[in-house]
Amino acid sequence: MSRIGVAFDKARADGRAVLVGCMPAGFPTVEGSIAAMKAMVEAGVDVIEVEIPYSDPVMDGPVIQKASDIALAGGVRVADTLRAVEAVAATGASVVTMTYWNPIEQYGVDAFARDMAAAGGTGLVTPDLIPDEAAEWLAASDAHGLDRTFLVSPSSTDARLRMTAEHCRGFVYATAIMGVTGARAQTSEAAPVLVSRLREVTDIPVGVGLGVGTGAQAATVAGYADAVIVGSALVRCVLDAPDQAAGLTALRKLSAELADGVRNPAR
Amino acid sequence: MSAAPATGQVPDAAGHFGRFGGRFVPEALVAALDELDAAYRKAMGDEDFLAEFGALLRDYAGTPSLLYEARRFSAQIGARVLLKREDLNHTGAHKVRNVLGQALLTKRMGKRRVIAETGAGQHGVATATAAALFDLECVVYMGQVDTERQALNVARMRMLGATVVPVTAGSRTLKDAMNEAMRDWVANVEDTHYLIGTAAGPHPFPEMVRDFVRGIGEEARRQCLDLTGALPDAVAACVGGGSNALGIFHAFVPDTGVRLYGFEAGGEGVDTGRHAASITGGSSGVLHGTRTYVLQDADGQTIESHSISAGLDYPGVGPEHAWLHDTGRATYLPVDDADAMAAFELLCRTEGVIPAIESAHALAGARAIAPRLAEELGREPVIVVNLSGRGDKDVHTAGAYFGILDKE
């Protein structure tokens, strides 16, 4: 049984997709990021994806790179991420952590899994860890009952889709496009194809992310996916705001629009 | 000396050199890495490919490079020093071997565009050169700080028809250029090959790049036997990412009587924290797609490296070096800026050869180990030093260092 399954069960009961919103911990400050995540939850985001800021984020576009740089310049530590996870999980929302692999390897894979579970987190999304290299994480996540979300891509072969999905618990992350994070004007034509290819090989819920940033795009993706994952567009609300209050207002407004989108899927 | 495992055993099929190497990449790149791996393995068993590569190395790059006995330099350091003159290759460094191999593979895979990262600009120039020769579109990512420091190489790349993209993210240096190249590759992998400039990155790059440059050591081994009638006592090379060092080490790895020395950039001194000595002063971690020694803090955030040599100024190292270090087959020692520049000056004055500052680290390292080796052997040691590149690109840096530039 997966920890994040609760969020998927609840959304399924409502006949809709799960809304996942991403925010780097410590951006612009640790307290500021916690306030932002709580505002997202209040405005209708089901699952918060807390990103651990990393010095070399190769899967992230300019918006999340900038936010990560700000967080790191402010001195955010991996332990602060766990504090953010705990604070947001206390609201009752499901919390998943997205992280590049090196910070976890340095923290200690088993120690991180233990502390993540204790903080109330559900599991990890790992953009640069493929199942082929994940033996230590597979063992630690089993030992501490955490979920595992690996990514699949339009370029993945059917064999790799099957293998990757088999190693996931909770949900599998389908990247909608070939590219890095960042809102885009067009919704992906590759994503529905990738999701239907996944459906052929797995029953695990499918989340779709990369390039989703508006309520209309969320509605489109909700038409074929089990979860809609939004990152850069939410981060930009905070990045572009003149002050914290304005940032939170913008964040609530976009969160509500996205929440509305997943409730009115385009079929 | 410890027995070395046969190199045939490493890496394994998934690119692991012991606990190092592998693939720590977005899934989006796996298909392209698999395609590259298959193309590379097929090419290495294909006589047509090997003949074409060999002809290019000979007729275009100008190899085999000379093995030159540096008598006056030798007299100054107390060792018989044989210089592997990779500085005489077309484009002025060993790097031309790697780019020709990868450009040929790019053509074979039917891709029409290459991208590359560069620090000082040497790999960028080499890639732009091969792209011109093979009629490929070429985009080079270069940290904004480096484009300003190395304006001449930016101009060279543009003359050769490449597009140079200044990278403004992060520390705006080589590692950030590599991040940006990875992002480009994720988005354009269908028609694009990422021509990585050193024996690092995800599998199969470390193994493939090593194989494209291993001719350096094969030539040097044969030339040394012809010249001296015996194998050398030691082989010395500088190590940044480490392709020139692997290139000259590889043929000697089974010769357990030959000591292998890799000299890392000690910058202002490893104890100052301002250095690029990933093996000496770093720890095991994951960076740019591979597990290796990395300069990092307790949270796994990459720490910026420092070296007077732009080509060694990188916070990681190829995973095969990490493995050669762990097995004890090769010895890695830091050489700081001051010692490298002293050796740079000594080679200029004794041999009339201006080395790349990178290669000056190997010269300084040979100088440092010569007395120890002489004592151990009870005679003058024979040391093959990889003179991996020429110093034309470093004239401004060295001129400023020695205070010999006329004031403007």
ipTM: 0.95
Task: Using the predicted structure, report yes or no on whether residue B2 has a pLDDT greater than 70.
Answer: no
Confidence of residue A182 (pLDDT cuts 50, 70, 90): confident
Q: Which residue has the higher pLDDT, B122 or B301?
A: B301
Split at pLDDT 50, 70, 90, the class of B5 is very low
Using CA coordinates, name the residue in chain A closest to B294: A102
- Give A256→chain B minimum CA distance, Å: 30
Q: What is the average pLDDT across B154-180?
A: 93
Determine the distance in angstroms separating the CA of B289 from the nearest CA of chain A, rounded to an integer. 8
Please state the rounded mean pLDDT for residues B388-394.
93
pLDDT at residue B177 tops 90? yes
* B63 within 8 A of B219, measured Cβ to Cβ: yes
CB atoms within 10 A of CB B29: 24
Residues from chain A that touch B183, judged by Cβ atoms under 8 A, are 58-59, 61, 179-180
Backbone angles phi, psi at B290, to 5 degrees: -140, 155
Q: What length does chain B have?
A: 408
User: How far is Cα A149 from Cα B220, in angstroms, rounded to an integer?
Assistant: 49
Residue A183: the pLDDT is 76
Higher pLDDT, B396 or B320: B320
> Which class is domain B62-92+214-402?
alpha beta
Task: Band the pLDDT of B119: cuts 50, 70, 90.
Answer: confident
pLDDT at residue B172 greater than cutoff 90? no
Residue ranges of the domains in chain B? 17-58+95-209, 62-92+214-402
Tell me which DSSP letter residue B9 carries: G
Contact across the interface for B169 and A62, Cβ inside 8 Å: yes
Least confident among A135-139, B12-16, B110-114, B147-151: B147-151
Please state the rounded mean pLDDT for residues A57-79. 95
Residue among B84, B95, B175, B393 flagged as catalytic = B95
Q: Which residue has the tokens 């099957």?
A: A162
pLDDT bucket at A188, cuts 50 / 70 / 90: confident
B-contacting residues of A 76-95, CB under 8 Å? 77-78
- Would you say residue B7 has pLDDT above 60? no
- What is the mean predicted confidence (pLDDT) over B356-383? 98
Contact A74/B at CB under 8 A: no
Residue B169: the pLDDT is 85
Cβ neighbours around B233 below 10 Å, total: 22
What residues pair up with B355 in beta bridges, in sequence order? Answer: B390
CATH number for domain B17-58+95-209, candidates 3.30.950.10, 2.120.10.30, 3.40.50.1100, 3.20.20.150: 3.40.50.1100
The topology (CATH level 3) of A5-261 is: TIM Barrel (3.20.20)
What confidence category does residue B240 fall into, taking pLDDT thresholds of 50, 70 and 90? very high
pLDDT bracket for residue B408 (50, 70, 90): low
Residue A106 sits at the chain B interface (C-beta within 8 Å): yes
